[in-house]
Structure 1
Amino acid sequence: MAFAGERLLLDLGLPLDADPTADPALLLPPVAGLREPEPGLRGIVVSHGHADHWGLLPAVIASVPVVVGAATTRILRAAAPFVPRFLPAAFRAESHPVLENGVPLPLGPFRVTPTLVDHSAYDAYALLVEAGGRRLFYSGDLRAHGRKGALFERLLRSPPRGVNTMLMEGSSLGRLGPEQRFPSESEIETAFVVRLRAPGFVAVCASAQNIDRVVSLYRACKKTGRTLVLDLYALEVLRATENPNIPVAGWPNLAVYVPQYQRRHIARTKRFDLLAPYKPYRIYPEGLAALAPRAVMLFRQAMLPDIDSLGPAVWTGARAIWSQWDGYLKDQTGSGAKLRADIVARGVDFEVVHTSGHASISDLKCLVEAVRPDSLVPVHTFAGDRFPEYFGPSVVRRADGEWWDV
């Protein structure tokens, strides 16, 4: 956005179809002020902590202010010891402007008002940006079927008024029919309960940063008398939320296991401080072997050697559940497909239990009807050409690199 010679950038993510291991500098768009100082760039406002919204920030010069939610900053800092090369310098900074729900934030000639929304990323916001008497509303990524679905209903009841342009995500277009819906997070929890009733080790492949999903899994473990086994990375992310309702070490039905690859990483980086808070709650390989028939482990590829080391009996009767975007499984050269192949090769059943972090088409319709923008611009979708079919004549397509008036 630009006004009175100054500019503001909303999100700077790694493209959905980009190689996640690519050098961000090679993908950075030609925006003045990102590679070299340019005083007209007031800052970058990041709606939430998913890499497709901030993943190019590591390539941006450190002098550019980055505005983000406080919990998002804490979570990404907590992740930094485990995935440091993806953490932008902006999130390492001790101070920067912070998004707070409903609190207007002046940034030069712009005023940004964030609204907390329901999404699979914790601390996610929609953004109202005002300048020169014009109003732009950016949906960010949002949904109505997560644990914070009440936030979506609140947005429908009290939407921003007088919006000249609305930028709205459309991730569900092409994935759902107009009347179809995604399962709710409560339904995912129920599905976990059903699958955890039978004995045997269960590996659940889910993102530790999908806090809703970890909560669903923990609740299912409590209901079935199982123990959720979490590693250091997951526990540090949960602790960073600073939410007393989120599971942490010391809660019942929760155990701490530090896999081999993390033990090696801690020794190499001398980050023994990461172990200290969890010492009273740790279990070791012999404890994991004893717990295995009733254990549910938040699982990733690097943990396979740990389970293999317990002996082949652990895999007998075991199950694996993929609980994240199934697109990672469809790329036969990707890590998701490799993990599935490795697990299936051990004779383990593998299934998908997941719901989207994005709103259904019917919920997006409700949002457009509530906001009633003068114009609606598709973003974050591979099916932008279908927006007029669902959202009517206010839809205006805009090309990448095109400047236009709000």
Structure 2
Amino acid sequence: MRRVDLGRLSVWLFGGLGEIGGNQVLLYTAEGGLLLDFGRPFGRWGAYFTEFLSPRTSGLGLRDLLFLRLLPPVPGLYRDGTGDTLLPTELERELLGGLPLDGGKVLALLLSHAHLDHTGSVGYLRQDLPVVTTAATAAIVKAMQDTAQAGVDGEAAYLSPRLPKEDTGLLEGDRKRYLRRPYRLLGRLQAFPHRSPAVQKTLEGHPWEEASSPLALGPFRVEALPVDHSVPGAAAFVVETPEGLVVYTGDLRRHGRWGAKTEAFLRALEGGEVFLLLVEGTRLGEPGRARTEEEVKQALHAEVARWEGAPVVVDFAPRNLERLLSTLEVAWEVGRRLVVTAKDAYLLWGLAEAEPHPWEAVLREVLVLREGKNRTSGWERALWDEAPVQGISPEEVAQDLGAYLLALGFYEVNRLLDLRLLERKAGRVPRRGAYIFSNSYWADQEQILDLKVLLRWLEALDFRLLPEGLAELPQDPQGVKNPFHTSGHAPEADLREVAERLRPRYLLPIHTERPERWREVYEGEVLLP
């Protein structure tokens, strides 16, 4: 936690300082404040929690997170009203304070994009705090919450009100309703915000409204400029403050499918007077150019074509819809059909309302795996009853696995077992398949363990993992050349160009483990608090 004072403006860095992700930045003045993202700090989080040891938020609210300083101790910032609280006893309230800040003066949260290291702590913020973001980001945030049936930690779009249960000091959730957060959308999203993920639990309050641009918030004027990232809807924020123009990049690159957005962002600002640039630096210290998404698509095409008639799985992150689009185009080119899960289709459905081009056409083109279930959630009923989707059963896929591309990930690998058994039942002769890892790989112990599990499954189901270098479980992910993936972040040369074209009076590094590297690559004034 650091503070930088720049005249009438104070910049508080609660997360994202000397770490990748976990961005929690506060612009604060005497007249009010703005939060720039409020994500989960995965590195610090993993120092205290594991798969089977998690924060006790459902019963004890913010006790664990405030004590461990995984959340800033700012009174008035968190859920603590008459109808909803995450501070059930005085033990939690005593962990707040000690900073010259009033969370009640925070006017809004500016949300740059829908990745958990930027959204993962939004669920704790007070329920009336406006969330300013693009319509695409809002749609993705809600779709991910709907399909995950999230608890307190995931309540970024809406929440289940919680109050202390009588005589226990423990929280109890409302079983009858959800309350929407007041999103202010840069773009339009009309029907999707009203869909409840539950069959009998309603969504109430705080209608999502379209915001003006630029948007006046107390002493600030805010404008969002789209940028290229590995998730749709990403934006940088330009904030007029009492001291001058503050630019927050969020996460960005220009080697993706929509790299022109980042170029347009730079052209809109270069030549002006940028007072402070809060710039990500995930890939500082990495030389060379970045692989483009077009090159990834070409590599996928070449590999899938080599497996003619055989089953092929492509594994990519659930919000990497750019990769889904590349995979869909490869399927067209090689004469296959792309099969996605119902969760993927629901996400596409929400996004198609926010950004009809190209997502409406994508939603209509993919095949959606329709599996038998003991219990159907509200979001699933809505998808099958209302969305323009084409369902396909596992039995139909198993008739000819080589006719499809399967968009499945680690947590869906057991679906391949069903398809193999159904293939045998249909009298088909099984062929060895390819499992293409088109995802990021950072080689921490948890991911190495997951890869070991995945390799055992693939061996049992007769699938080959690609690229083959991953099968060796390398400790150094840089040593694995993966032509089937590219980073969502700009390499060092592109980051340096961002700074040189905007020429800020001050540059403040965030979202990087090497903030000091900026002083080696940039001649302007770099603040290293």
What TM-score, normalized to structure 2? 0.68
Is residue 72 of structure 1 aligned with residue 159 of structure 2?
no
Q: Of residues 408, 431, 440 in structure 2, which corresponds to 1:325?
A: 440
Shift of 1:181: 1.7
Task: Indicate how the Cα distance of structure 1 residues 87 and 350 shifts in structure 2: closer, same or farther if over 3 A, else same.
Answer: farther
Cross-structure match for 2:384: 275
Cross-structure match for 1:204: 314
Shift of 1:139: 0.8
Contact 2:237 2:248 in 1 (8 A): yes
Q: Distance in 1 between matches of 2:498 and 2:389?
A: 47
Cross-structure match for 1:29: 72
Larger radius of gyration: 2
How large is the Cα RMSD of the aligned pairs? 2.7
Q: Of residues 353, 360, 367 in structure 2, which corresponds to 1:255?
A: 367
- Tell me, what secondary structure is at the counterpart of 1:355? coil
Q: Of residues 143, 149, 156 in structure 2, which corresponds to 1:88?
A: 156
Is residue 239 of structure 1 aligned with residue 370 of structure 2?
no
Q: Distance in 1 between matches of 2:139 and 2:384?
A: 18
Deviates more, 1:278-287 or 1:227-236: 278-287
Trace 1:2-401 onto structure 2 (pairs within 5 A).
2-17=28-43, 18-19=45-46, 22-23=54-55, 25=62, 26=65, 27-35=70-78, 36=80, 38-85=103-150, 86-90=154-158, 93=180, 95-99=182-186, 103-159=213-269, 161-174=272-285, 176-177=286-287, 180-197=288-305, 198-199=307-308, 200-242=310-352, 243-246=356-359, 247-251=361-365, 254-259=366-371, 263-264=373-374, 266=376, 271-277=380-386, 281-311=390-420, 316-327=431-442, 331-332=446-447, 335=450, 338-351=453-466, 352=482, 353-398=484-529
Q: Distance in 1 between matches of 2:449 and 2:219?
A: 44
Identity fraction in percent: 29
Q: Distance in 2 between matches of 1:49 and 1:276?
A: 27
Task: Indicate how the Cα distance of structure 1 residues 307 and 375 shifts in structure 2: closer, same or farther if over 3 A, else same.
Answer: same
Question: Aligned pair count?
Answer: 390
- Tell me, what secondary structure is at the counterpart of 1:42? strand
Cross-structure match for 2:164: none
Q: Distance in 1 between matches of 2:267 and 2:37?
A: 26
Shift of 1:58: 1.2
Contact 2:311 2:401 in 1 (8 A): yes
Residue ranges of structure 2 left out of the alignment (5+ in a row):
1-26, 82-102, 160-178, 188-210, 467-481
Contact 2:129 2:182 in 1 (8 A): no
Q: Distance in 2 between matches of 1:126 and 1:39?
A: 25
Q: Distance in 1 between matches of 2:417 and 2:123?
A: 36
What TM-score, normalized to structure 1? 0.87
Task: Indicate how the Cα distance of structure 1 residues 84 and 270 shifts in structure 2: closer, same or farther if over 3 A, else same.
Answer: closer
Task: Indicate how the Cα distance of structure 1 residues 274 and 155 shifts in structure 2: closer, same or farther if over 3 A, else same.
Answer: closer
Shift of 1:95: 4.5
Residue ranges of structure 1 left out of the alignment (5+ in a row):
399-406
- Tell me, what secondary structure is at the counterpart of 2:246? strand
Deviates more, 1:3-12 or 1:219-228: 3-12
- Tell me, what secondary structure is at the counterpart of 1:39? helix
| One-letter identity of the residue aligned with 1:382 | E
- Tell me, what secondary structure is at the counterpart of 1:244? helix
Shift of 1:46: 0.8
Deviates more, 1:35-44 or 1:310-319: 310-319
- 1:163-205 CA-partner distances (Å, limit 9, x unpaired): 111010001124x22xx12210111110110011122111111
**Higher relative contact order (CA closer than 8 Å, sequence separation 6+):** 1
